[in-house]
Amino acid sequence: MSATAPTHADVVVIGGGVIGLATAYTLARSGAGQVVLLDQGSFGSGSTCKAAGGVRAQFSDETNIIMGHYGLEVFERFGHLFDQEIDLRQNGYLFLLDDPTDVADFERSVALQQSLGVDTRMIAAAEAQRLAPIISTEGVLAAAYGPRDGHCTPESVVLGYARAARRAGATLIPNCRVTGGEVTDGTIRAVHTDAGRIQTQTVVCCAGAWSRTVGEWFGVDLPVDPVRRQIIVTEPIPGLDQSMPMTIDFSTTFYFHEEGPGLLIGMSDPDETVGFKLNRGDEWLPGLIGAAEHRVPSLADVGIASGWAGLYEVTPDHNGLIGEAPGVSRFLYATGFSGHGFLLGPAMGEVMSSLVRGEAPFVDVSAFDARRFEQAQLHREKHIV
């Protein structure tokens, strides 16, 4: 249990992952009054510090492209802005495509990205192999490449935002669980925590995979499901090219990037079921090994050094939920990023701060309103693994 919590706040942010911390920082900096952020564990202990750290602007959805691009610009200047080294490695992102339909989809997306000023391009299999010499290009028809994309260290981003938020005047409380909400006549009166009641009229839900429950306390439907994803780090690979891009075998979802002297590798498990499962399991390994050995044959001789499991926060169309609920005043939410929320942290901080202050955000996020599912209006993001 946390030591103390204030009895009043102008804004309560629930969740201290990258989205909540960036929101608290931006709100505090913009003079939104007393901003209090609560996390049931340590900051980043939800999904953020389980992420592979991939940052990119290669998406199919225009808003995701703009927000991903914004994130890249912040991550590039993070050390200067927040006095925190995040070990950004801009080796690029490389999507390997072996299906003609995917090639056509990515061609459309690359054209859209270029029209928005993002440096991406379609390349041939041979060029993909020059960029990632360990791959087999068997079956690869083409690849999409974004040279400015890359990866960085989530723990460092969490640290940078947390420190900046506190310096800007926000109160951040780890190990303090929100247990419920108090609403009368459609207006929020307070949040209840295991350290007491905090009177407030404005709540921002940044609770990631746990958001559905938080929404229910305030009468808001946030269709977010937790789905386990696992990562493995290999033993050192002698002579590994450290400049290889984050490489994704799109049809199998097998991906890797260099991680110290080895590779960080991951893949989705099509048989995984919804649930707060955080144990490491072996069920996905046969599928992973098959895909890995097909695309990177030399991995057959490499051992596993470590690994972990985390939660994707999945919505029905694999796109985030961003907005303000109309039925209760005032409940805002930024959640459900379905596996690409780490890279959206910087943009979401700006967007949520604008929405709380009642101003138009720098990018139109209206299509991400959670009510889209009531009208069966999915807003699908195609380039998710």
**Interface with ligand FAD by CB under 6 A: which range of 5-13, 36-44, 82-90, 113-121?**
36-44
Q: How far is the CB of 364 from ligand FAD (least distance, A)?
A: 20
Yes or no: say if 145 and 93 are a contact pair by the CB < 8 Å rule: yes
Site membership for ligand FAD, residue 318 (CB under 6 A): no
Site membership for ligand FAD, residue 181 (CB under 6 A): no
3-state SS track over 192-241: EECCEEEECCCEEECCHHHHHHHHHHCCCCCCCEEEEEEEEEECCCCCCC
- For ligand FAD, which residue of 13, 24, 38, 188 counts as binding (CB under 6 A)? 38
- For ligand FAD, which residue of 25, 95, 145, 312 counts as binding (CB under 6 A)? 312
Site membership for ligand FAD, residue 150 (CB under 6 A): no
Binding mask 52-91 for ligand FAD (x = CB under 6 A): xxx-------------------------------------
The residues, ordered by sequence, that sit 6+ positions from 289 with a Cβ below 8 Å of its Cβ are none
Of the candidates 350, 285, 298, 280, the residue with the CA atom closest to the CA atom of residue 322: 350
Yes or no: say if 94 and 246 are a contact pair by the CB < 8 Å rule: yes
Site membership for ligand FAD, residue 333 (CB under 6 A): no
**Interface with ligand FAD by CB under 6 A: which range of 38-46, 165-173, 277-285, 359-367?**
38-46
Site membership for ligand FAD, residue 36 (CB under 6 A): no
Distance CA 30, CA 28 (A): 5
Around Cβ 183, how many Cβ atoms within 10 Å?
Answer: 18
Site membership for ligand FAD, residue 178 (CB under 6 A): yes
Question: What tokens were used for 253?
Answer: 């979802």
Type of residue numbered 184: T
Interface of this chain with ligand FAD, residues 183 to 222, rule: CB under 6 A = 206-210, 214
- For ligand FAD, which residue of 11, 12, 13, 19 counts as binding (CB under 6 A)? 19
Yes or no: say if 309 and 281 are a contact pair by the CB < 8 Å rule: yes
Residue number, 52 or 288, with CB nearest to ligand FAD: 52
Q: Is 80 exposed, middle or buried (0-12, 13-18, 19+ CB in 10 A)?
A: exposed
Of the candidates 282, 280, 283, 300, the residue with the CA atom closest to the CA atom of residue 291: 300
Binding mask 219-258 for ligand FAD (x = CB under 6 A): ----------x-x---------------------------
Chain positions contacting ligand FAD, by CB under 6 A = 14-20, 38-41, 45-48, 50-54, 177-178, 206-210, 214, 229, 231, 266, 310-313, 335, 337, 339-343
